[in-house]
Structure 1
Amino acid sequence: MIYIDADACPVKGEAERVATRHGVKMFLVANGGLRMSQNPLVEVVIVPEGPDVADMWIAERAGPGDVVVTGDIPLAARCVEGGAQVLKHNGEPFTQANVREALAMRDLMTDLRAADPFRQGGGKGFTKADRSRFLDALERALRAAKAG
């Protein structure tokens, strides 16, 4: 199965096409604002409002053989720990080897932003190359998940 942390996910359509091609069930999980899909393989899950409710829903279900798509590092860490394959929206994988470092960097950046409230931060924009890398990475992750 594919679990999508759907809040602000720029690759929902791409993931749906790949899931359909592979005949894999996909869950779009958010606390609202999603259109229902006509695709029988896609289930839209609307969770109650609240901090991390969508993340908890995904983390409680994702495991070995599943693929999770998220930009949320704590969710990624929980899913990697549970045995799922986890991808960022740009196709970069979260793995046992890199997720702890990503958590530490996230915490450091949170502290830096708190120390300097005027700090203007902004990530780089999402590009066509990112979208292409995501599609390739999702294909590989699904093949690996099927292989066990």
Structure 2
Amino acid sequence: MKVWVDADSCPGVIRDILVKAAQGRKVEMEFVANHHFQLPPSPYLTWRRVPQGADVADQEIVARSVAGDLVIASDLPMANDLISKGVQVLTHRGEILTKENIKTRLNLRDFYETMRASGIQSGGQATFSQTDRREFANALDRALTAALRGSK
């Protein structure tokens, strides 16, 4: 199992949790982004730079991931593509996206896009709280535990 991270949209606090988890669990983790950022030296961490452009990192992750991998991302169309490949998706807020909940999430996203296009502002997502960080860390721990248990 490999963990892929959509690093273009990954908050720094979540990236820090991921780095600690990769090193502590000895899990291969690849960060994909179109901008440079620093990762600590580790045999478990890699960084892949992709060209600038909308959804280039997303397309790279979809193309390279395989069934059984885990992707950390909040992009719903990408998550839908990944789920259909048998890839597990965990959002930055600690929610596991599945074939049972992705369609509803996509419909809600489209609804909010339509509202914004008509001039109605929804306010966007709240900033990350300590609870959000803890929820993500706990969900990541559960996902890694399940994946590592399944690979033995």
1:109 pairs with 2:112: yes
> Does residue 13 in structure 1 map to residue 13 in structure 2?
no
Give 1:140 deviation, angstroms: 1.1
Counterpart of 1:23 in structure 2 is 26
Whole-Å separation in 2 of the counterparts to 1:17 and 1:64: 24
State which of 136, 139, 147 in structure 2 corresponds to 1:145: 147
Contact 1:64 1:145 (8 Å CA) reproduced:
no
Q: 1:60 aligns with which of 60, 63, 73?
A: 63
Q: Extract structure 1 runs of 4+ deviating beyond 4 A.
A: none
Q: Distance in 2 between matches of 1:5 and 1:15?
A: 12
Please, what TM-score do these two structures have when normalized by structure 2? 0.90
Quick check: 1:4 aligned with 2:15?
no
Query: Quick check: 1:33 aligned with 2:39?
Result: no
Distance 1:28 1:53 in 2: 13
1-structure distance, mates of 2:70, 2:23:
14
Match of 1:99 among 95, 98, 102: 102
Residue deviations 1:23-73 (CA, integer Å, cap 9, x gap): 111011110132243122111111001111100011112222211111111
8 Å CA contact 2:6–2:32 kept in 1: the answer is yes
Structure 1: give runs of 5+ residues left out of the alignment. Answer: none
Deviation at residue 8 of structure 1 after TM alignment: 3.3
* SS of equivalent residue, structure 1 residue 129: helix
- 1:42 pairs, out of 41, 45, 58, with 45
Normalised by the length of structure 1, the TM-score is: 0.92
- Between the aligned residues of both structures, percent identity stands at 37
C-alpha distance in structure 1 between counterparts of 2:66 and 2:111, whole Å? 28
CA distance in 2, matches of 1:135, 1:120: 27
